[in-house]
A and B are shown apart, each in its own frame.
Chain A
Amino acid sequence: MNTTARPSSWPVILSLLVALSLEVTPLPADFAAWRPPWLALTAIYWALAYPRRYGLALAWFAGVVLDVLKGGVLGQHALAMTLATWLTLRFHLRLRVFPIWQQTVAIGAVVACHQFIVFWVDGVAGAAELNWQRAAPTLAAVIAWPVVVALLDGLRMRLRMLA
């Protein structure tokens, strides 16, 4: 295999589409607030893996698509995902070499910023209720991050994508 070839984009697009589907998959009513921000986690993963190829523009566009899919205010998730990806890229040199548990904690902090923006725009649009459930996606993201990393690392390993 020619190691200098540019890695193909379809695994990235496919994983983002799967993440988009997971964002609206029906959950039991009791767990509705516990949905991890799959799309943000996936975008963060690819930004960490290929910081020079997949970054802000991709995250922003994916965020706009998510807004349309969820029927919310256009730009809400776009803004949140831009911020989350920017934080990731800003600290990617450190985040990449962290052991997984430390990385998970750091990503938890990034997702907390992401959720804050989502909550803020909800507040501007008049649909905000501040309760403990607002913290649920962040906790769910902390649980989901190692899973996302394991799955996408596995995918990259299998496809022998460039590091």
Chain B
Amino acid sequence: MIFAATSPFTYTPSLTDWLRIVPELILLAAALLTLLADLVGSPGRKGWLAIIGLAGAICALVATQMLWVGGSIGEAFYGMVNDDYVSLFANIVILFALGIALLFSPGYIERQGITHEGEYYTLLILAALGMMVMSAASNLMVIFVGLEILSLALYILSAIVTTRRRSQEAGMKYFILSSFASAFLLYGMALTYGATGSTNLTAIRTFLSSHGTFPLGSGFGPLLLVALGLMAVGFCFKVSAVPFQAWTPDVYVGAPTSITAFMSVGTKVAAFVGLVRVFFFALPSLSVEWQPVFWVIAVLTMIGGNLMAASQRDVKRMLAYSSVANAGYMLIAVATHTQAALQGLFIYLATYAVMNLGAFGVVLAIERRDGQGTTLDDFAGLGRRHPALAALMALFMFALAGTPATAGFIGKWYVFYAAMTGGHTELAIIGVLASLIGVYYYLRVVWAIYFTEPATAPLLVLAEEPTPEREPAATTTAGGGVALAEPATAAQPTTSTKVLPADRHTTHPATWLGLALAGVLTIALGIVPMLMVEWALAAAQTLFK
């Protein structure tokens, strides 16, 4: 199998192969369908593209569920992808994130005036597809292909607000830095191939285990060591671990919030699953070499991420750094390298997904037309202006801070528990101390929401970029005929280009639905997490042998 390339190679996919990637196929179909459906209908009325996407996500979720319960699972396409409990678990989280992001999108697109709706939805679905491919990959090449599908889609999505310079900057920055990291990863994969003679993860695993614990002296040892380092760099960049986190805040803040919500969760899932497939499954015999590396990175990420988040005043930026900090907790699991740690990692990914999507969802709901209005000052007094949004944000903040009876605590519990059973009590202690910093900056948002009053003067739009002309028009059309009769509203177009109060808009019903889903799950996973824990265990058992 390793030297299959030397003879003419043919492989005919069977029906079983196709059946095992049904969730991916459904999503691909949904993506293509949205692209076609974009051709009909007038601009600005493309909300039903989201419905197509949502239907695709739900069908894919059902397919995943059916595969989990009764389907035949295993490797497919000549060991290129592996449809196991790991990929199915990842599918569930990614599809959930996609569904929530799609629910957030129509209202946000409308408010932000994003013009390329068809491309937006198609690329969003394709990004999810890339994530699923990456987490199902059982071959280094397919991991890379999945990574590129999701990255390319996300580069464009980050820059899709054509009227906002910050968004353009985010896309460009992400593209350049991420390409650089992809190159590292690819080079690492190439060297691994050079050292082991295969890109198939199982083959690499078998090859290494048949060569003793660490074949340093066997000629290809240094090669493998360099490969290990390069791949670690590549993956750490993708999960935004310190010191490879520099792109995260700028990209997360610049990108449209619905996209940020999705990529902060989805990319983490795909990258971590890819990481554990490579390091836990293919390279366990080298764990002596890579475990200390991840130990150091985990500590740096936890401390660095939390400290940097604590000094932010923009909640969106704070959440970006918080995603760095959370990557640190997940890296504890990687550094621990036990089955319990792997289970903890999967649980953490799922719980982080629900609460982080929710948190970004509230930010998205209070964000102004110009993409501003997400600082702590804008959250001031939210408890009185929008009680429901405020309560949800408080819930997500408490959850992210790790309060028991929410999803956040279950994730932290399993990771710290695994670290301690795995003999890394010091990581658990550093983790809890770092999360104390987290308590400070998450609860500062709650402070702003409930303990302070809104600033009395209307907030001025900073002259960061020219305000698009369609905004006043949108205000009048949204206001409707009745509003036009009033002189005060008639005068609005002239003033609204300068002054935009933070709360002059209503939240789209779909956004509400997404927020409610995230909120319910944040509590449910905190109180009745049994099913998730069970699934995570099944996934961990598949991978950790």
Q: Are A and B physically bound partners? A: no
